[in-house]
Amino acid sequence: MERLQKVLAAAGIASRRKCEEMILAGLVEVNGVKVTTLGVKADPAVDAITVNGKPIKSEQKIYLMMNKSKGVITSAKDPQGRKVVSDFLPGIKERVYPVGRLDYDTEGLLLLTNDGEFANLLTHPSHHVPKTYRATVKGIPHGTALEQLQKGIKLEDGMTAPAEVEYHDVDTEAGEATITITIFEGRNRQVRRMFEAIGHKVIKLKRIRFGELGLESLGRGKYRHLTPQEIKELRDIAKSKTHKIHKK
């Protein structure tokens, strides 16, 4: 017997947090009885569980890494008809969900899975999984400005955790700098807002690492399956109390 939200997440319905919202909204039934409170347990091998009237079924777990292009929505569908990540997953029949998000104008490493437990493990705020970005910004930030990011900076939704920051390249002629930054949170548009807070607008942003996982030679708009070892390493780093960043 497992908590109902965990059963739903394991069946690939959505992340555990989203499954909790579905339960509270009265969208889930167990043996014909609507469940609207958390804490109920069920056994998918014995109990008849439905979401929106449709029975859940166990799916083969799938774990993907994609090199998302700029101008693609990190969503299953878009009401405005823009390209979404699922448009770039030929041959994938399972319905997969992004592990965290990259905004419309951000490119780079994106994980997708139908394993809600795995997604929750990597995105839960208490786990502080490192994510590394390469940001090209207007102007050339002084060292003292970068030190603010390293110590943590106040945004409208509170102080950020300390970040790892270093120069990657400086173009004095164009008046731009490219900076590598590793954060341990997953707030909305966090990297862009952090640089804006020190007076430097981000003009190009790419996620290059998620934990120890890097894009390597994966082409833009392409995807591949994660290896069992990579999946294990991501689980391990999410459960670890200390994180060592692989710099490349």
Catalytic residues: 103
At residue 134, φ and ψ (nearest 5 deg) are -115, 115
The neighbouring-strand residues paired with 89 are none
| Distance, CA of 225 to CA of 245 (rounded, Å) | 22
Query: Could you give the 3-state DSSP secondary structure of residue 50?
Result: strand
Which residue matches tokens 């299953």? 76
Q: Can you read off the two tokens belonging to residue 176?
A: 């731009």
Phi-psi region of 139 (alpha: psi -120 to 50; beta: other; left: phi over 0): left
Q: Can you read off the two tokens belonging to residue 45?
A: 């091998």
Which residue matches tokens 């774990």? 63
Residues in the chain, overall count:
248
**What's the CA angle centered on 133, arms 127 and 135, to 5 degrees?**
145
Burial class (CB in 10 A: 0-12, 13-18, 19+), 39: exposed
